[in-house]
């Protein structure tokens, strides 16, 4: 029998730059099958850039991302297209088609990628909406949905084709506490019920630690800490401690890198005196 690899995703020494700006500086991490893995970090640390390598939207400067045993940046267009069908994506801003109903938003990928009959598509759409508690919202337009409902529809669309890997890019951003808790619990329940693998990329620490099996902390383009969620709560690592406890002082500086404030003031004073 064919051996199934334990890890669904393997990221090895991943480097990437936007022009001269280095974003990823040697990321190493693995995503085990059947688990919920959270990738945490402050805004701008490279989380979304990392995700773009999973789907092949970006190619690394060095290193690789391997999904289902295949190096993503080495795939041709046809192979990459096939690989992407194994991935479900929940975008930061939901990404629903504004001119389609909730029903048609879910039916769209089924019509696009399968030869299923409309009767079968209807059953599947209703099944996915039932899973997120919105079966009776199928005829609504995206503009008629609350923020939490919109995210749940986006989640249902992410699982429309029963993917092997589901990727959530900032799934909790902008949600009220009740909606946030509902989405977090759905991610966990759907992962276990469907037997899929989930990657949650976010800066929301509290909900992520509740639902994730394993956590990676990214800062300045590298993994600075990792471990099981329960262990992270007790971590003495300075970055993890600052992030979890929302402390202003620590490895993550509030001020953008610059010369000392006093020097800037003296320089400004000197220029003003010279002009006078």
Please spell the DSSP secondary structure of 217-252, one letter per residue: EEETTEEEEEEEHHHHHT---HHHHHHHHT-SSSSS
The end-to-end CA distance of the chain, in Å, is 85
| pLDDT confidence of residue 273 | 60
**The pTM is what?**
0.83
Q: pLDDT-derived band of residue 274, with 50, 70 and 90 as boundaries?
A: low
| pLDDT confidence of residue 75 | 95
Apex 214 CA angle, 210 and 215, nearest 5: 85
Please spell the DSSP secondary structure of 86-131, one letter per residue: TEEEE-TT----TTS-HHHHHHHHHHHH----HHHHHHHHHHHHHH
Q: pLDDT-derived band of residue 205, with 50, 70 and 90 as boundaries?
A: confident
Q: pLDDT-derived band of residue 269, with 50, 70 and 90 as boundaries?
A: low
With DSSP H G I counted as helix, E B as strand and the rest as coil, what are the percentages for the chain, rounded to 5? 40, 25, 35
Domain locations in the chain as residue ranges: 7-86+163-275, 100-157
Rounded average pLDDT over 172-199? 88
Residues 26, 250: Cα–Cα separation, whole Å: 22
Q: Note whether 37 and 200 are within 8 A (CB).
A: yes
Q: 200: helix, coil or strand?
A: strand
Quote the CATH superfamily of domain 7-86+163-275: P-loop containing nucleotide triphosphate hydrolases (3.40.50.300)
Rounded average pLDDT over 103-114? 94
Q: Note whether 14 and 66 are within 8 A (CB).
A: no
Rounded average pLDDT over 146-174? 90
102-113 helix and 118-131 helix, angle to the nearest 10 degrees: 130
């Amino acid at each position: 029998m064919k051996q199934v690899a334990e890890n669904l995703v393997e990221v090895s020494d991943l480097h990437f730059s936007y022009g001269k700006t280095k974003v990823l500086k040697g990321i190493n991490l693995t995503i085990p099958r059947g688990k919920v893995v959270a990738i945490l970090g402050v805004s701008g640390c490279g989380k979304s850039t990392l995700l773009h390598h999973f789907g092949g939207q970006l190619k690394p400067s060095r290193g690789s991302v391997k999904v289902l045993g295949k190096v993503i940046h080495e795939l041709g267009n046809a192979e990459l297209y096939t690989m992407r069908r194994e991935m479900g994506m929940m975008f930061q801003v939901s990404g629903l088609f504004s001119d389609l109903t909730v029903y048609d938003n879910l039916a769209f990928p089924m019509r696009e990628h399968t030869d299923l009959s409309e009767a079968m598509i209807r059953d599947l759409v209703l099944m996915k909406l039932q899973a997120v508690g919105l079966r009776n919202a199928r005829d609504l337009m995206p503009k008629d949905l609350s923020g939490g409902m919109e995210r749940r529809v986006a989640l249902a669309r992410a699982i429309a084709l029963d993917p092997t890997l589901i990727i959530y890019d900032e799934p909790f951003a902008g949600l009220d506490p009740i909606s946030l808790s509902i989405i977090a619990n759905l991610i966990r329940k759907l992962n276990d019920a469907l037997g899929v693998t989930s990657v949650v990329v976010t800066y929301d620490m509290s909900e992520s630690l509740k639902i994730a099996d394993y956590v990676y902390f990214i800062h300045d383009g590298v993994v600075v800490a990792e471990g099981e969620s329960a262990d992270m709560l007790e971590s003495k690592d300075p970055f993890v401690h600052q992030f979890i406890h929302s402390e202003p002082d620590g490895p993550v500086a509030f001020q953008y890198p610059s010369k000392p404030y006093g020097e800037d003031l003296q320089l400004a004073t000197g220029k003003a005196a010279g002009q006078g």
